[in-house]
């Protein structure tokens, strides 16, 4: 049995050429990403502030995707000064919960119910962290887009999420392989601990930039996936 990861279509998802972004950038010009954050904050009704981390969700709002955990952990994220931008639709209870949070915390929480492909690009280009706390995920694409855009994925250790994101632990930072944040247990406390670790890394701008560059250097393009398929077919001959 073999597993092959999804691939990113770099003709569509590439911050260097993405015409849906206010400001295009590469791993060597990451300072240009700041304008995307500013534009996203304006679009989502958030306070324009480049000093606080902007967390994002682009997802179906379901328990399988772990969005109930995000809602439960949200007060802790906001207490630390973070912001949340959410684009998604699904469970009416979760929708109402996030809309209520946006009403209660204007300037810190922005919510758009529904899905808009173009706006998902703007979120990926402008956010600092993309939350993917799925209870199970065979592979997933959202975290791969996050890596490509230097929007650090914060994921649960399951399925393809565990295969594609390396936690920013001290060991991984020292080895130069950190690319995001990974938490173990499917509960809000475990998620919140990972969020707190993201805040710690955020407080070290040079280290944050280092991890961004590591993430953007990873290659999860369809060219890599196609090569894996080809090698598998050859082995089966």
Q: Evaluate whether residue 113 is within a structural domain.
A: yes
| Average pLDDT over every residue of 39-58 | 99
The answer on pLDDT for 64 being more than 50 is yes
Tokens of 178: 């950190």
Q: Evaluate whether residue 163 is within a structural domain.
A: yes
Q: State the pLDDT at residue 149.
A: 98
Strand partners, 83: 54
The average confidence (pLDDT) of the chain is: 93
Q: Evaluate whether residue 175 is within a structural domain.
A: yes
Q: Evaluate whether residue 126 is within a structural domain.
A: yes
Q: Evaluate whether residue 20 is within a structural domain.
A: no
What's the CA gap between 90 and 99, in Å, rounded? 13
Q: Evaluate whether residue 6 is within a structural domain.
A: no
Q: How many domains does the chain have?
A: 1
Residue 41: give the domain boundaries: 30-236
Domain harbouring 69, CATH code = 3.40.50.2000
What's the CA gap between 112 and 100, in Å, rounded? 12
Tokens of 121: 């690009």
For tokens 């480049």, what's the residue? 50
Nearest Cα to Cα of residue 153 among 174, 176, 182 = 182
Edge-first strand order for the sheet with 54-61 is 109-113, 83-90, 54-61, 129-132, 152-156, 181-183
Q: Evaluate whether residue 117 is within a structural domain.
A: yes
Most confident range (mean pLDDT) of 95-99, 135-139, 229-233 is 95-99
Give the pLDDT confidence of 108-164 residue by residue, as tens digits.
999 999 999 999 999 999 999 999 999 998 778 999 999 999 999 999 999 999 999
Q: State the pLDDT at residue 137.
A: 83
Q: Evaluate whether residue 139 is within a structural domain.
A: yes
């Amino acid at each position: 049995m073999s597993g092959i990861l999804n691939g990113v279509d770099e003709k569509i998802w590439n911050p260097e050429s993405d015409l849906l972004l206010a400001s295009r950038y590469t791993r060597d010009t990451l300072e240009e990403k700041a304008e995307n954050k500013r534009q996203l904050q304006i679009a989502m009704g958030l306070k324009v502030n480049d000093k606080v981390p902007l967390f994002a969700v682009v997802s179906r709002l379901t328990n399988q995707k772990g969005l109930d955990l995000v809602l439960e952990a949200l007060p802790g994220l906001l207490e630390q000064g973070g912001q949340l931008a959410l684009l998604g639709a699904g469970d009416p209870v979760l929708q109402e919960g996030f809309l209520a949070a946006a009403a209660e915390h204007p300037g810190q929480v922005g919510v758009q119910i529904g899905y808009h492909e173009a706006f998902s690009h703007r979120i990926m280009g402008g956010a600092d962290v993309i939350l993917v706390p799925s209870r199970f995920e065979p592979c997933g694409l959202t975290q791969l887009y996050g890596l490509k855009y230097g929007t650090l994925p914060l994921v649960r250790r399951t399925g393809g999420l565990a295969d594609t994101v390396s936690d920013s632990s001290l060991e991984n930072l020292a080895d130069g392989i950190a690319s995001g944040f990974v938490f173990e247990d499917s509960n809000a406390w475990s998620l919140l601990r990972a969020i707190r670790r993201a805040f710690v890394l955020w407080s070290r701008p040079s280290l944050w930039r280092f991890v961004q560059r590591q993430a953007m250097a990873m290659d999860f393009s369809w060219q890599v996936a196609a090569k894996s398929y080809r090698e598998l077919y050859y082995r089966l001959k």
